[in-house]
Amino acid sequence: EILSDILGRPVKYVEDIFGCAAREEISKMKKGDIILLENVRFYSEEILKREPKIQAKTHLVRKLSPLIDYYINDAFAAAHRSQASLVGFAVKLPSAAGRVMERELKILYGALENVRRPCVYILGGVKVDDSIKVMQNVLKKGSADHILTTGLVANVFLKAAKIDIGECNEKLIKKRGYKNLIKVAKKLMEKFEDKILIPVDVAVCKDDKRLDVPIDDIPDLPIYDIGLETMKIYAEKIRSAKMIVANGPAGVFENPEFSIGTEDLLNAISSSAGFSIIGGGHLAAAAVQMGFQDGIDHISSGGGAAISLLAGEELPAVKVLCNPI
C-alpha cells in the first residue's frame, strides 16, 4: 500500500518468490502492471555468496528467467554481494543498472577518478578495517589530499602514534579485533604523515558527562568523541576543500553529550562550497537527524557497497552487468 501511494499506481503483492503462485501472477501481467514478490532473503540460496555462473543455476533464476524480458538492478546498497538475485539473472538476461545505481556509481567513481582539489576524506565510526582499506586505496591513487580521522578509527591511529589512550580504549580495540591494524596505521602514518590528521584532543566520558582533554593527558576513561580543538582544525580543512567524502560518525552521537563532534563536522560539510559525499549508515542517519541533509550534495544509499567501491574493490553486482550475454 505504501509503495502504491508513492508510485501513484496499484502494486500487487504476491506472497511467493518463484513458486507456482508467483509464476502464475507474472504470466498474467499486462503492460503497466507492477508486482511485488516476497522478500528474496527468505530463500535459503539467496544468502549464499557464489560466482554469477553458479548463481544462474539456482531455482530462483531458473524458474523466473523464462518469464522475464529484462533484468534491472537498482540495489546499489547490496552491489558488493554476489547473491542469486543480484548476479544470477544478469548471466541469462539482457540487463542494466537502474537510475539509483547509475547515480551512485557516477558520483562515487567520480570521487576517485575526477578529483576536485583539495579533496578531504573524513573517516570515522567503529569499522576500522573498512576505513583503513579506503585510506590505503585513496592515498595510493592520490585521490585524497587530507584524511581526518575520528571515532574508533582515530583511536587506532592515536595508539599507532604512541599516544596513551587508556587501558579501557585499548581493550575496546582488541575486543573489536583491530589490534593488528595498529601496525598498519603506523605504516600509513609514516608514509603519508603530511596527509593523515589525528585528533589533538578528545572527549571522554566521566560520570556520564563530557570531559575534553588533550591527547597527551587522556585518562583511563572511554573516548566518546573528538575534542573541541580538533573540531576547529578539522572544520577549517573541510571548509577549504573542493571535495569532501565522509564515512562514519565522529563519536557516540546518540548521546547528546557526545554528539557535538559529529554535528560540528556535518555543519562544516553542509556549509562548505565543496562537493560533498556521505557514506550510508550511521553518518547518513546523523545527517538527517541533525537536519543537515539538504546541504549535502550526495548521501549514499549504500554503506558496505560505497566502502567497497572507495576501497578499490570490485562490486560483483556491477561487474556482472558489464558482461555481454
DSSP state of 88: I
Q: What is the rounded average pLDDT of the residues 175-183?
A: 98
| DSSP type of residue 325 | -
Do the beta carbons of residue 265 and residue 234 sit within 8 Å?
yes
CA dist., res. 79 & res. 280, Å (int): 13
User: What was the pLDDT predicted at 36?
Assistant: 98
303 or 98, higher pLDDT: 98
User: Which pLDDT tens digit goes with each residue over 51-81?
Assistant: 999 999 999 999 999 999 999 999 999 999 9
Confidence (pLDDT) at 281: 86
Q: Phi and psi at residue 250, in whole multiples of 5°?
A: -80, -20
SS3 at position 244:
strand
CATH of 117-273, one of 3.40.50.12500, 3.40.50.1260, 3.40.50.970, 3.60.15.10: 3.40.50.1260
What pTM, to 2 d.p., does this model score?
A: 0.93
Average pLDDT of 87-93?
A: 97
β-partners of residue 146 are 120
| CATH fold for the domain made of 2-101+314-322 | Rossmann fold (3.40.50)
Helices 128-141 and 151-160 meet at what angle, rounded to 10? Answer: 70
Query: What are the C-alpha distances in Å from 82 to residues 76, 182, 272?
Result: 12, 30, 37
Cα separation, 288 vs 292, whole angstroms:
6
Q: Outline which parts of the chain fall under CATH 3.40.50.1260.
A: 2-101+314-322, 117-273
